[in-house]
Structure 1
Amino acid sequence: MLIDNKVSMQTTNLESFLDRTTPLAPSQFLSKSEARKLNKLWHPCEREKVDYFVLADLWSSFDEWSAYGAGVPIASEDGQNLIQYFVPYLSAIQIFTSSSSANCLREETDSVSETRDSFSDSFSDESESEKLSRWEGCSSEEGICELDLWHQNDRLGNLYLEYFERSSPYGRVPLTDKISSLAQSHQGLMSLRSVDLSPASWMAIAWYPIYHIPTGRTNRDLQTCFLTYHTLSSSFQGMNMDLNHRPRKTKEGKSISLPPFGLASYKMQGDVWLSDENGLDRERMASLLSVADSWLKQLRVQHHDFNYFMGMRHG
């Protein structure tokens, strides 16, 4: 992946980060017959061409970043041009699918099915509220929680996979390694398409700084860590939910861009990432943080990294 080391005079450091950490997935097109079968609740607008991406291709876009870091060109406060590198880690993910997709995916492995059946049977005598409460609090060593038949919702879909990272940054593995690990028991993490996913499907990526070029005196603000939130569903495809951000231009039909709709940060101690003289970066940060907070509240999700970032900001 070639990186342009120059920072445009019209591009702020925050814009550069958002741009250079936006994943791109190769685009494919549905046949007309397949497009007619799409869930109308999730895809209300009929389009002449419906493009989508396969999750496996999305994860492939993180290969180089996971190995070497994503290079973000920035201008330091003293005017020096730098490339700051960040390594991506999977912070959280929820994948909701349609009933038909869920039925196929339930047959992935006998061990997963047996675990789900025994889990469902053990709570068959509980009330609906007790089951929901227990589901919201359930967890495993991998941080995975699967949804059973009692919590289906036409709009949300069927929860196929949920994962929340709780390890310290030093105990985590890069995103592609974590995805490979989760995919061993959840093959849909590779085979599902964006058109198979409900609008409630999302992921959060934690970006931790590793080094900058050229090396030299350490700038405290270059230690800033970020959380970016991305939708995984085609329902929001083509929508730029951050109206102040100008995403990278892509050739039509070649790739699909997944710009972040939410953002959180901590260890932001200076103005390197708030370099816009008109205060637009600060407004954008506040807006993206508010959207991330609202998203988690709507899904009634406790996102460990988000709570930690907020605690660090206000602690």
Structure 2
Amino acid sequence: MIFDTGLTRSNLESFLHCTTPSAKSKFLPKSEIRNLNRLWHPQERENVEYFTLSDLWSSYDEWSAYGAGVPIMLNDNETLVQYYVPYLSAIQIFTSNSPVNSLREETESGDRDSFSDSSSNVSESDKLWRWDGCSSEDGGSEQDSGWHVNNRLGYLYFEYFERSTPYGRVPLTDKVKGLCGRYPGLMSSRSVDLSPASWMAVSWYPIYHIPMGSNIKDLSTCFLTYHTLSSSFQDMDPDDDINGAKRKRKEVDGISLPPFGLATYKMQGDVWASGNCGRDQEKLVSLLSVADSWLKQLGVQHHDFNYFTGIRRG
């Protein structure tokens, strides 16, 4: 069985292409352009495009329900389609506004998320503030995170780090719907208002392939993709890099968010790494390095990344 959609790309390129979300593009009213954070948007522009997080999540609806189909070329020149389901692995959203009021909400266990109140002490903005997160089951953080409040990084509005086993997770769209009830910014936030430090990671687990019957170890490979959520990178040329990873600005049907980082698990053969005359192997190494660098720069421990890469903590 041959699928024309996958013939012009290597298997790795096919996966990256088929799992890249694209959100509907909107234009910022000219009256609002002057109010943009100039540290995050230093270039003067007449037209500013952005997307809302709700439109981004919409691009995952079908994949969450049925899986994202990825055409894969096998060694015998036959092609099958492997389906992957996306799960929200991690997310951090930084904004220009203090989240003190918006995130003081009751959790299911009756505890409150605690923040430093910058209005109570003139030097508070120079201190580390901490969100004592709750468990993944009630939609908060899986870890404590300390951040300097500054103009460049912004304020942490929301973070989530999944720690459940793959079998205990719900697909990305269902997870986001469960979280947005208490954190409406997960739907209403605009990419143009988010700090360059805003990001998410999506874990992709294989569920089945068509036609069935192929017994190839690499078909059990799992992926972890990293995506920026900020419009700060949308002005980049297609050949520009984000920490060494090339990023396309947009596609015809919207703003595309290809991964700037990648990690894999259970990659046991050459299905994914043998394409492009060895360049796919180089790309895998490069994207893994970028993901590692990104997490280190933000000072976070990403459970799935540690697991995928064999890092065991505690």
Normalising by structure 1, what TM-score?
0.84
AA aligned to 2:305 is F
Deviations 1:250-274 (A, max 9, x none): 22xx410000000000101111111
Which secondary structure does the structure 2 equivalent of 1:290 belong to? helix
The sequence identity of aligned pairs, in percent, is 64
Distance across 1 between alignment mates of 2:245 and 2:72: 18
Shift of 1:64: 0.3
Q: Residues 172, 148 of structure 1: CA spacing in aligned structure 2 closer, same or farther, 3 A cutoff?
A: closer
Q: Report if aligned partners of 1:108, 1:187 keep a CA contact under 8 Å in 2.
A: no
Number of residues of Structure 1 aligned to a counterpart in Structure 2: 296
- Structure 2 counterpart of 1:21: 19
Q: Residues 277, 119 of structure 1: CA spacing in aligned structure 2 closer, same or farther, 3 A cutoff?
A: closer
Distance across 2 between alignment mates of 1:306 and 1:28: 33
AA aligned to 2:133 is S
Distance across 2 between alignment mates of 1:32 and 1:246: 26
Distance across 2 between alignment mates of 1:171 and 1:195: 34
Which secondary structure does the structure 2 equivalent of 1:14 belong to? helix
Shift of 1:32: 1.2
Give the alignment partner of residue 85 of structure 2, picking from 78, 81, 87: 87
- Specify every segment of 5 or more residues in structure 2 that has no aligned partner in the other structure, as ranges: none
Question: More deviation in 67-76 or 271-280?
Answer: 271-280
Distance across 2 between alignment mates of 1:226 and 1:26: 25
Q: Looking at both structures, which has the greater relative contact order when contacts are Cα pairs under 8 Å and sequence separation is at least 6?
A: 1
Shift of 1:79: 1.4
Compute the RMSD of aligned alpha carbons.
3.1
Distance across 1 between alignment mates of 2:146 and 2:306: 30
Q: Report if aligned partners of 1:296, 1:302 keep a CA contact under 8 Å in 2.
A: yes
Q: Report if aligned partners of 2:145, 2:300 keep a CA contact under 8 Å in 1.
A: no
Deviations 1:84-132 (A, max 9, x none): 1000000000000012xx46x83477648x934x6548xx99x98xx84
Shift of 1:181: 1.0
Distance across 2 between alignment mates of 1:17 and 1:148: 32
Give the alignment partner of residue 140 of structure 1, picking from 112, 134, 138: 134
Q: Residues 312, 208 of structure 1: CA spacing in aligned structure 2 closer, same or farther, 3 A cutoff?
A: farther
AA aligned to 2:185 is G
- Structure 2 counterpart of 1:229: 226
Distance across 1 between alignment mates of 2:194 and 2:71: 33
AA aligned to 2:251 is T
Give the alignment partner of residue 169 of structure 1, picking from 159, 163, 166: 166
State whether structure 2 residue 10 is matched by structure 1 residue 12: yes
Which secondary structure does the structure 2 equivalent of 1:263 belong to? strand
Deviations 1:43-87 (A, max 9, x none): 011222100001011001100000000001110122111111000
Q: How does 1:1-315 map to 2 (within 5 A)?
A: 5-99=3-97, 102=98, 106-107=101-102, 111=106, 115-116=112-113, 120=116, 132=128, 135=130, 138-142=132-136, 144-145=140-141, 151-239=148-236, 240=238, 241=241, 250-251=251-252, 254-311=253-310
Greater share of helix: 1
Which secondary structure does the structure 1 equivalent of 2:232 belong to? helix
